[in-house]
Each structure stands twice: as structure tokens, then as C-alpha cells.
Amino acid sequence: MRHFPIFLDLRGQRVAVAGGGETAVAKLRLLLKTEAKIIVLAADACAQIRRWHDEGRLVWHARAFAHEDAIHARLVYAATANARDDAHVKALADAAGALVNVVDDLEASSYITPAIVDRDPVTVAIGTEGAAPVLARRIKAENEARLPSTLGTLAALARDRRPDVEALPPGRARRTFWTDYFDDWGPKTLTAGGEPAVAAVFAEKLAIARIDAASPRPGKVVLVGAGPGDPELLTLKARRCLHEADVVVHDRLVAPEILELARREAVIVEVGKTPGGSAWRQGDINALVVEHARAGAVVARLKAGDPLVFGRADEEIEALDAAGVACEIIPGVTSAAAAAASVGRSLTRRQRNQAITLMTAHDVAGFAEHDWRHLARPGAVAAVYMGVRAARFLQGRLLLHGAPASRPVTIVENASRAHERRFTTTLAALPNAIAAAQISGPAVIFLGLEPRASAQRDIERARRLGWA
């Protein structure tokens, strides 16, 4: 990040704008939203600037930008639409030590003006360091659409009422009160009855919140499916839970982009278990979540994929039950589902397989035994979790029970993530294919499933280009 975003207090401060044409007007429109003293320096000025001058909203001096203008200015805009004049303004500003923005010249500028979404007093500032103005405009449009126009009014009311709400204990009580205000009854009441209605309901809601706060709610643990990695594959419920959680306890496989969705004040604990090694014992994880919940926290226990698929969820649920701690479960997209989507194939198909086996190649005792004869039958499809290191074992067992060496095998590593890779092979070549691919991320191995033709072409192209 080369440009550090800050919000500058311009109340009563001087801002000097060099230029009297359209370029200057565009910046002035933004500056006029502030409480700055705006001085326009230009030998000639367009009608709009003259009008603003007459209305007393800015002061226009009909002369060129000079040294003393820079000395007294907090910010300087070089907006003359003439490169030589702009360079002169910049030189004067630099000499006076003022911050200067040369319009449309990132390199010459000591600061840049972001695109903004204005819901005063709420301002969303968007910057791309000049890399992608189109993107900035899109993000602005999305935020314009997403943030209701009532937001500014609600925020201004909230600012006035802050001291009253301080009667609530800090933490959850206050947070819930404000969340409900902004997301629920605030906008509804404002639309229905305007500001007076909000004021009345505010007092009522605050009284109720004070009573609630006096008898605090007990904590709870929510087992949350974090999905395969792509944050867009999170459920809305999972998102909401992450926003609310006081403590987030997550597995190693949960993607960092998803953890970003937690509140900034939330305590985040990784209880990673690397394949083979184990940093945290299950008993310690159970004890940790119980302890936080007993202290009144909402604990989001984030697990990759779906929490109930190879997630040892029962052990945690039983521990919570035994401790008398409330527990909820939010399902997630399991990796096999994401991997199947990536190769464009249905997990079940009439006449081929009416059932799908979700299996792991490991259990506590080592390699896991299965009904191999069943899995070796023609048309059988299985999604193997944690199978990369067991490839030779899987191959041996299946061949021994009569599966053909030509049975297709598809491997999806990092399904739905930026580094997703897909491979196709056969049962005969499985161990070699896995060794050659040097898989280091989580992967699902589909036994008996080949990718859709178009996905197959992508995979081959990637292989030729050396991506996979």
C-alpha cells in the first residue's frame, strides 16, 4: 500500500485550487462537501465557479496561483488542465511544504483523492492507486446500491445518541443494540415515521436493552461450515455468525479470506492439525471452546467444508453437551461438492451410480479399511478425502478386489480456491500421477469419475502450459 487512506479534518482549513475550468469544477464539487475554506486561483473562471463565488461558497481570485497561496493551504490542487501550469503549481506547493494533488498525475501528486460514496457522516473511500479506475467506479456503484440513502440520517442520529447508549455495558450488549438499530428497526422506523419516530423507538429499545443486559445471555458454540475456500461459497448464515462471534476457533484449512470476515475485535485461534502431525489435541480444542462459551462468548467453531463431514464434529458436540453449553450447527459446502462442480460432473448418475461414497483413506489406526469389493464394482464412484498419501494403498486394495486398471480417477486440489488444480489419471497410474503432481494443498480424489469433456480440455491445456 503506497497510499495510506486517512480522513482529514478540513473544517476551517484552507484548500487552494489552481484552475478555473471543468477539471477544477470536478474537484470543487467534492471539496464543497467539506467545511474547508476554498480558494480558487485562476485568471479566468467558468460560470459555475463564479456562481459558487457569488453564493459565498468559495473565494475566487482572478490571478494565477502564487507562492503565498501554497504557504497558507493545507491542501493544494493543481487543476489547470495545462501540464506546464500544473507543474509550476506543484513546484510552488512543494517549496512551501504543502500537500499537492496534480489532477490525473499520480506520480507528481503527494496525495490522491479517492472515489467516494457519500452517506454523510458515513463516507466510503475507494482507491486503486491509479491501477484500475474502472474497478473503483464499479465498487463505488456497488456500494451506492448497497448502502441505503437513509444510512447517513441513521448514522447522524447514532452519533447524537452515543452517550445514552453508553449506559449499556461495553461489548456484546452495545454491539447488538447498534447492529439491530442499523440493520433492523432503525431503517424500518425511519422509513415509516421519519426522524421523530426513530427518536421515540430509540428510547424504548434502549430501555429494553438495559433490562436484557442486567441478565446476560449465556454463551454458545456454533459449528460453522467454512466451505472449500472461496468466500462466496459461504452461506449467509455462516457470514452472519462470523460477524457476531466473539471468538473464532478455526482449523488450518480455513481460508484466510474467510477469517477476514470476522470482527476486528474477535479473538481468533487456529487449532491447526497438519496432516500426520497434530498441533492441538481434540480434547484441548473441546476444552477451549467450552471455556470461552462458559465465559459468555459466542464461539464460531469454523471447520473447512461441511462441519459434519470428516470434521470430528461429534466429539465436540458431545463435549459441549456434557458441559451443558448450547451448540448450533451451520452446514457448509463440502469439498467433494466443490470439486465435482469444478470438473463439471454429477456425483450420481442414473444407470451409472445411484450412490456415492464419501470416504477417508485414513482413520485413527492408519489407512482406513472399506468395503473394497463394493467400491471396485463397475460404475462405483467415491470421493476420497485425505487420500493423497494413501494413493498406493487405495490402488492396491481396489485392484485386488477386481477394479479395472483403466478406471478413471480425477483429483482436484484446492477446489474453489485461487490455486485450484485438476488432474485426470487412471487407477493404474494413480500413485505416479500424484507423485508427479506434487500436491501440497488439500485434495479430493474421485474414483470412477472423469471430468466433463470441456473441463478435460482445460485440464489438458493447463498441463501443456505446465500449470498442472
Binding site residues, ligand SAH, CB under 6 A = 228-229, 253, 303-306, 309-311, 334-335, 339, 385-386, 412, 414-417, 442-444
- Do 89 and 95 touch, CB atoms closer than 8 A? no
Instruction: Return d(Cα 22, Cα 40) in angstroms, integer.
Output: 13
Write out the three cell numbers for 334.
463440502
In the complex, least distance from residue 358 CB atom to ligand SAH, rounded to whole angstroms: 8
Strand pairing report for 220-225 and 99-102 = unpaired
Contact in structure between 309 and 282 (CB atoms under 8 Å):
no
Q: Which residues contact 272 (CB under 8 A, 6 or more apart)?
A: 251, 252, 279, 280
- 154 vs 242 by CB, closer to ligand SAH: 242
- Closer by beta carbon to ligand SAH, 89 or else 222: 222
221, β-bridge pairs: 299, 327
All cell numbers assigned to 461? 491445456
Closer to ligand SAH by CB, 127 or 305: give it.
305
Please choose, from the candidates 282, 287, 290, the residue with its C-alpha nearest in 3D space to the C-alpha of residue 314.
Answer: 282
Nearer to ligand SAH, 186 or 307 (CB): 307
The CB density around residue 278, as the number of other CB atoms within 10 Å, is 11
Residue whose CB is less far from ligand SAH, 412 or 434 = 412
Helical residues (DSSP H) of 60-150, grouped into ranges: 67-71, 83-96, 133-146
The yes-or-no answer on residue 273 being catalytic is: yes
Q: Which amino acid is at 125?
A: A
Question: Which of 172, 245, 219, 241 lies closest to 326, judged by CA?
Answer: 219
CA distance 152 to 292: 36
Cβ distance to ligand SAH smaller for residue 28 or 430: 430
Which amino acid, residue 118?
D
Nearest alpha carbon to residue 251 among 318, 306, 191:
306
Least separation in angstroms between residue 444's CB and ligand SAH is 4
Measured from the CB atom, the residue of 229 and 448 that comes closer to ligand SAH is 229
Query: Nearer to ligand SAH by C-beta: 98 or 444?
Result: 444
Count CA within 13 A, CB hemisphere, residue 302: 37
Catalytic residue among 69, 246, 251, 306: 251
3-class SS letters over 385-401: ECCHHHHHHHHHHHHHC
Cell 465436540 appears where? 316
120 is catalytic: no
Residue of 140, 188, 220, 273 marked catalytic: 273
Taking alpha carbons only, the member of 465, 415, 466 closest to residue 444 is 415
b/e burial code for range 178-216 (CB count within 10 A of at least 16 → b):
beebeeebbbebbeeeeeeebeebbeebbeebeeebeee
Identity at 120, one-letter amino acid code:
D
Taking the complex as a whole, the smallest distance from the CB of residue 258 to ligand SAH amounts, in Å, to 11
Residues involved in catalysis: 251, 273
